[in-house]
Amino acid sequence: MPLAGEYEPSPSAFVRDQVERYEATDGREAGTLAGTGLPVVIFTTRGNKTGKLRKTPLMRVEHGGAYLLVASQGGAPSHPVWYHNLKADPTALEVQDGADRFDATARELDGDERELWWGRAVQAYPSYADYQRKTDRRIPVLLAERRVDAGNDAEEHS
């Protein structure tokens, strides 16, 4: 079931316009990071303070149906707001990859799993390595995995 609630567009005109075009065209327009041609995915979270829905385009790092969220914020010294939203409620997450939209649960990665996915992230978007060098914090990576409604998958037994 998609996240319900009041949507508050980004204060950044660039992000707000990209999300609007992406959603209106199922990613056929505004589906890449400006100037790179590299694909993005739209992640919707619930604000941990306001309760309002927030939409963030992030680089598309997908493997086996799971999606990575890299909390790089361009190498800034602090984590992005969406990271705190997901830490507060990891189930308040919707992923839109083109026309495909689904509910997901996020979990922060560590150890070998983090290293594997970090390598995938840097392969998809090499600037992530630069961002990590630019900041003293270890950039968090979270994995968004599709939630399956158990009621739809249950087999009836007689």
Residue 1 placed within a domain: no
- pLDDT tens-digit series, residues 45-75: 999 999 999 999 999 999 999 999 999 999 9
**Number of folded domains that form the chain:** 1
Residue 49 placed within a domain: yes
Instruction: Inform me whether the pLDDT recorded for 83 exceeds 60.
Output: yes
Residue 141 placed within a domain: yes
Which two three-digit tokens encode residue 157? Answer: 């037994």
Q: How far apart are the first and last CA of the chain?
A: 29
Residue 83 placed within a domain: yes
In the predicted model, what is the mean pLDDT of residues 134-142?
97
Residue 109 placed within a domain: yes
Residue 80 placed within a domain: yes
Work out whether the CA dihedral 101, 98, 132, 46 comes out positive or negative: negative
Residue 64, pLDDT score:
97
Residue 156, pLDDT score:
42
In the predicted model, what is the mean pLDDT of residues 136-152?
87
Residue 79 placed within a domain: yes
pLDDT band at 148 (very low <50, low <70, confident <90, very high): confident
pLDDT band at 35 (very low <50, low <70, confident <90, very high): confident
pTM here is: 0.91
Residues 6+ apart with CB under 8 A from 147: 91, 102, 103, 104, 105
Which residues form the domain of 121? 13-148
In the predicted model, what is the mean pLDDT of residues 102-123?
98
* Domain harbouring 102, CATH code: 2.30.110.10
Mean pLDDT of the chain: 93
Instruction: Inform me whether the pLDDT recorded for 95 exceeds 60.
Output: yes
